[in-house]
Chain A
Amino acid sequence: MNNYMGILSAGWLIIGGALVLIAGTFQKVRRRIPELSIAIGGGATLLNGLLAWFYPLPKSGFFGMVWGGGIYSFLAAGVMLAITVGLSFLWRSHREGGYRGWEAFPLTLFIGAALSTLPASNHLLLSVVALETVSLGAYVLTGLSWENRYAPEAAVKYFLLGAVGFAFLLLGISYLYGLTGTLYLHHLWPMRWTAWHGNSLFALAMVLIAIGILFKLSIFPFHWWAPDVYGGATPSSAGLVVALGKLNAAFLAGVFLHYIHIPSDWLMGLASIAAISSLYGNLGALGQTSIQRMLGYSSIAHGSYILLGLVSGPEGRLQAWGYTLVYALTSTLTFGLLSLRAEPMEYKSLRGLGYNQPGYALAVAICLASLSGMPPLIGFFAKYGIFTAAFRAGYWLPSIVALIGALIGYFYYWRPIAWMYQAGEEIPIRMPALALSTGVLVGLGLLPMALWGWLDYLYGLAGLFLPRP
């Protein structure tokens, strides 16, 4: 009995992307490609949301290679939401002449198909193919603009280091296959991992896989490409690139940590690396004068919070996945909003924006505040969840150090906001604008909390809270 739920969203996106590609060969339809792609992406979001709502219990299909429904559809819906938002900003840049081609739209749909399959995969072959499809697409998206001086260089750097990380990951998986003789993840679960713990091949496999994942997540010893790549990427697609990289790594790492039992002192080591990485990323972002480069540095810090969640047991993995979805959406929004301005993104160029374009400035300010983790916004709740899980898992020292890093983060996220509201012409904000901003702040905080509860429910239903045998 086959169950097609697991490939419904990927199938929709691949067929849709192929149709868009074919449509692109006709001169008349070509102008409509961005709208068409956004419609397909939005359709995938809706489809996955409905699947998660009507089939809360996940089912496996295709020889048990892929899960569908429940938490997996929920994650895919979150992924597709971020991608659709990224596509609409790309559409705007396309219309304004910032990006002249149209190939990025079907490409992003194919990436969406792979990325929504990655967390649902139950077979390492599928995981690796999905992971690499997303990464290769991200390299292309980085170097999208032909006019941008930095984009090609950023793309080449991303490609080189991403490929090296992938080689490490692949070698690690090959040793894992050699040890176990299976690529099915659920076959790995019942294994008596404690018997492997002294095994040197097991240690080698785990170290190689960890290096590969830390490369993709841009964690401290393997982080140095992140500011250059995210700071130099084409502005209209930079948000998508950041989101794809983090989602990719977080999904793969979460799946690995669920099925494989890692010795607890290794987990402690990973948590310590996360703490150092948080300090490094936040301190590095402190000295920047360009917003895009500052966001590049801060992505190292966000990667470290995700890692801290991932190593903190089943609850931490849930929080880390939720955090990654939130971060993906917020960073796509932030980069997208910033790319609407033609000027170089120096802090200084923002002076007086809060008075000249109040709506736009408010939107940017809300995004930055959410990234920093200000209480009424979703970014705070996501961070709160991660740190609670880490404290409960007993990582006291790493959590406190990472928390100090996060506190430094408040400072540099609020600097551009301060620039925006520094005196240009004096146009006082009217009352409706204030009421609206308060409403948005509270709404953004409360609505996703309901979604968070839903995520928690689906996660439990999929059996991901269960202790290992």
Chain B
Amino acid sequence: MKVELLYAVLTLSGGLFSLGLLGLLLRRNLLLAFLAIELMLNAANLNFLAFSRYHNEPTGAIFVLFGICLAAVEAVIGLGLVVRLFRAHEDLGFTKLTALRW
């Protein structure tokens, strides 16, 4: 893998991560926050794949399999928590989370 391609992929993943962070900060909805977090995790996964090709070494690619697995588990637990919260509040906005002082 050429260095130019590596730089391109790194830029892409950096953009994905920033997009996720921005989404997290700007959107006031729990489901969209989860989407944003998944974007951030996948930016890291993309990095691992690119570096794995660049170093010609398989560990990074294997890491990505585990990373995707962890992201899936995280989505399961996060959605479970959101469903519970929705039953309690009937709303998914951040602004309703005020029982504890934020």
Contact = CB atoms under 8 A, between A and B. Distances in A.
Interface string A176-198: 01100111000000000000000
Interface string A186-225: 0000000000000000000000000000000000000000
Interface stretch (A11-19, A148-156, A386-394): A148-156
A232 B99 contact: yes
B78 to A, nearest CB: 6
20 contacts: A128-B67, A129-B66, A136-B77, A152-B84, A154-B100, A155-B81, A155-B84, A156-B81, A156-B97, A163-B37, A163-B78, A164-B24, A166-B41, A167-B20, A170-B41, A170-B44, A170-B67, A171-B40, A174-B60, A228-B100
Interface string A417-443: 000000000000000000000000000
Contacts of B97: 153, 156-157
B72 to A, nearest CB: 11
A139 interface: yes
Contact of A232 (B50, B82, B100): B100
Contacts of B59: 125, 177, 182-183
Nearest to B83: A152
Interface in B45-69: 45, 47-48, 50-51, 54-55, 57, 59-60, 62-63, 66-67
A183 B99 contact: no
A154 B98 CA distance: 10
Interface of B: 17, 20, 24, 30, 33, 37, 40-41, 43-45, 47-48, 50-51, 54-55, 57, 59-60, 62-63, 66-67, 70, 73-74, 77-78, 81-82, 84-85, 88, 97, 99-102
Given A156-B30, A167-B41, A139 B77 contact: yes
B51 A174 contact: yes
Interface string A125-145: 100110010001001100100
Contact of B51 (A124, A150, A177): A177
A150 B100 contact: yes
- The secondary-structure label for the interface of chain B is helix
Given A136-B74, A178-B47, A125 B63 contact: yes
Contact of B85 (A132, A152, A167, A228): A152
Contacts of B66: 125, 128-129
A231 interface: yes
Given A129-B70, A171-B44, A160 B99 contact: no
A380 interface: no
A173 B59 CA distance: 13
Contact of B48 (A129, A177, A182): A177
Given A177-B60, A178-B51, A181-B57, A150 B81 contact: no
B98 to A, nearest CB: 8
A183 B63 contact: yes
Interface residues of A, number: 38
Contacts of A227: 101
Nearest to B20: A167
B82 to A, nearest CB: 7
A163 B74 contact: yes
A152 B77 CA distance: 12
A175 interface: yes
B100 A181 contact: no
A160 B77 contact: no
B15 to A, nearest CB: 12
A178 B55 CA distance: 8
A159 B34 CA distance: 10
Contacts of A125: 59, 62-63, 66
B45 to A, nearest CB: 8
Given A150-B100, A177-B51, A232-B100, A156 B85 contact: yes
A153 B67 contact: no
Nearest to A176: B51
B81 A143 contact: yes
B85 A153 contact: yes
Nearest to A139: B77
For the complex of A and B, list the 3 residue pairs with the smallest distance between their C-beta atoms, beginning with the closest.
Answer: A167-B40, A174-B47, A178-B51
A365 to B, nearest CB: 27
Contact of B100 (A139, A153, A182, A183): A153
A182 B84 CA distance: 41
A140 B66 CA distance: 21
A144 B57 CA distance: 42
Nearest to B43: A171
B84 A160 contact: no
A126 B37 CA distance: 22
Contact of B82 (A124, A132, A156, A182): A156
